[in-house]
């Protein structure tokens, strides 16, 4: 394995500076978007039909819980994910406005549903249908956020892409 964490032929490719990540974790620092892979690939990992990704964050988006499926799909270890900012899996192809809308909704104590392309540690990606909801205490104060993600149906993805294309064409006219 070289210094960038890239393994030799036949092994899984990881396109992050693993040494830097380990040093950061040892120092008690959190991982963020800055630690995400810089080289993006076209390798899609597809979530199983019956699997659900679950994660919880604090008010600032730092991961406080992640299930086994999230660890597997994202390609990061649980140790790397807990405490990291959730944006570590934000794929650069996703429009920033999608996340602004999501944050605006959940901070207003509303729910968010949407298709999201997430970035894997190896530079690949995976699509999910995300449901994000604020966690409220007994007084109605937001104390964190929970996200459930599942495999989007190909039909839903196709309909979403068509609708997005129609809106784009309308704007261009």
Q: What is the pLDDT of residue 17?
A: 82
Does residue 137 lie in a domain region?
yes
Q: What is the pLDDT of residue 153?
A: 82
Burial class (CB within 10 angstroms; exposed 0-12, middle 13-18, buried 19+) of 45 = middle
Q: What is the pLDDT of residue 160?
A: 56
Does residue 3 lie in a domain region?
no
Does residue 4 lie in a domain region?
no
Check: CB of residue 52 under 8 Å from CB of residue 150: yes
Number of domains the chain is built from: 1
Q: What is the pTM of this model?
A: 0.79
Q: What is the pLDDT of residue 16?
A: 81
CATH number at residue 141: 3.30.450.20
Does residue 12 lie in a domain region?
no
Rounded average pLDDT per 10-residue block, the chain, 173 residues: 43 70 90 91 96 97 98 97 96 94 97 96 97 98 98 68 56 56
Does residue 7 lie in a domain region?
no
Does residue 134 lie in a domain region?
yes
Does residue 130 lie in a domain region?
yes
Q: What is the pLDDT of residue 127?
A: 97
Residue span of the structural domain in which 136 resides? 18-172
Does residue 11 lie in a domain region?
no
């Amino acid at each position: 394995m070289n210094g960038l964490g890239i393994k030799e032929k036949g092994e899984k490719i990881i396109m992050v500076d693993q040494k830097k990540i380990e040093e950061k974790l040892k120092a008690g620092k959190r991982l963020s978007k800055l630690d995400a892979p810089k080289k993006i690939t076209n390798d899609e990992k597809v979530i199983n039909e019956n699997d659900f990704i679950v994660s919880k964050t604090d008010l600032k988006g730092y991961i406080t819980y992640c299930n086994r499926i999230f660890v597997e799909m994202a390609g990061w270890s649980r140790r790397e994910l807990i405490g990291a900012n959730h944006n570590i899996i934000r794929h650069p192809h996703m429009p920033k406005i999608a996340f602004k809308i999501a944050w605006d909704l959940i901070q207003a104590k509303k729910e968010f549903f949407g298709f999201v392309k997430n970035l894997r540690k190896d530079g690949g990606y995976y699509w999910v249908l995300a449901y994000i909801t604020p966690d409220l205490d007994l007084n109605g104060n937001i104390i964190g956020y929970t996200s459930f993600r599942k495999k989007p149906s190909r039909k839903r993805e196709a309909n979403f892409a068509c609708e997005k294309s129609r809106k784009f064409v309308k704007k261009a006219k």
